[in-house]
Amino acid sequence: MKFLLDFFPIVLFFIVYKTMGLYAAIYAMIGATALQMLITRLQTGKFEKTHIITFGLLVVFGGITLAIKDPAFIMWKVSVLYVVFALALILSMWIGEKTLLQRMLGKEMTLPAKVWHQLTWFWGLGFSGIALVNAYYVDIALGTREQLFSQSTLDPKVELTELECASTTVEQLCLTAQQSEEAWVNFKLFGTMGLTFALIIITVIFISKYIKEDKTS
């Protein structure tokens, strides 16, 4: 349930992008994230720090994108968010007696301190990897977008999803730019969700032996 709630804003972003375009999708995601925070508050009695950080970055980067009609900011937000999470995890190993993961999950399971450190490195590097993959898609999307508008008289503030490429003088470049942006949107949903799920599966397999040992002792 929590996994689905965490990805609800991204799923809504994807759906609205496909039907109404990027800028409408940003508004939808901001609203969905606010709703996500409210639901969590009602369920647990408190706001999750990860949700607060996500919402803050979304408002800032999404707000800038909406204000100046430049998708670069909302695209880079994904990498910034995962880098922030990665740094928070890794630095927590030297701040306080417990790692951030242990503080979050320590009540649900008992693991040796060494294992908590290994998991923290694993998730920190995993989040860093997601940030790098996102940067790859962003670089391609923004590069083709820049080429399109530099080689045509099209308004750079227009949404790519609104362009009728066949009616432009740069049809192939227009199509490539649209496909590149769509590839980033697809990664934002399916890529981040799939990679996060893979991290969870590997973590469960890794800690299963320690949980079994704890039950038998």
DSSP class of 106: T
Q: Which domain holds residue 24?
A: 2-216
Total number of domains constituting the chain: 1
Mean model confidence pLDDT for the chain: 92
**What are the start-end ranges of the H helices in the chain?**
2-20, 22-44, 49-68, 72-91, 100-105, 113-150, 171-186, 192-216
Q: Answer for the pair 189, 11: CB distance below 8 angstroms, yes or no.
A: yes
**Confidence at 1, pLDDT banded by 50, 70, 90:** low
pLDDT over 70 at 215, yes or no: no
CB 183 within 8 A of CB 141: yes
Residue 167 and residue 164: Cα distance in Å, rounded?
6
Q: Which residues contact 137 (CB under 8 A, 6 or more apart)?
A: 75, 180, 183, 184, 187, 191
pLDDT value, residue 7: 86
Going 149 to 155 to 157 to 158, the CA torsion angle's sign is negative
Side chain identity, residue 153:
T
Which long-range CB contacts under 8 A does 61-64 form with residues at least 24 apart?
62/26, 62/29, 62/30
The whole-model pTM stands at 0.90
What pLDDT score was predicted for residue 212?
A: 60
Contact 144, 182 (CB under 8 A): no
pLDDT at residue 109 greater than cutoff 90? no
Reported as a single tens digit per residue, the pLDDT across 44-85 is: 899 988 899 999 999 999 999 999 999 999 999 999 999 999
Question: How far apart (Å, rounded) are the C-alpha atoms in residues 91 and 86?
Answer: 8
DSSP 8-class letter at 90: H
| CB-based contacts of 12, cutoff 8 Å, min separation 6 | 25, 28, 29, 32
% the chain with pLDDT above 90? 80
Q: Using an 8 Å Cβ cutoff, are 192 and 78 in contact?
A: yes
CB atoms within 10 A of CB 192: 19
Q: How far apart are CA 211 and CA 188, in angstroms?
A: 33
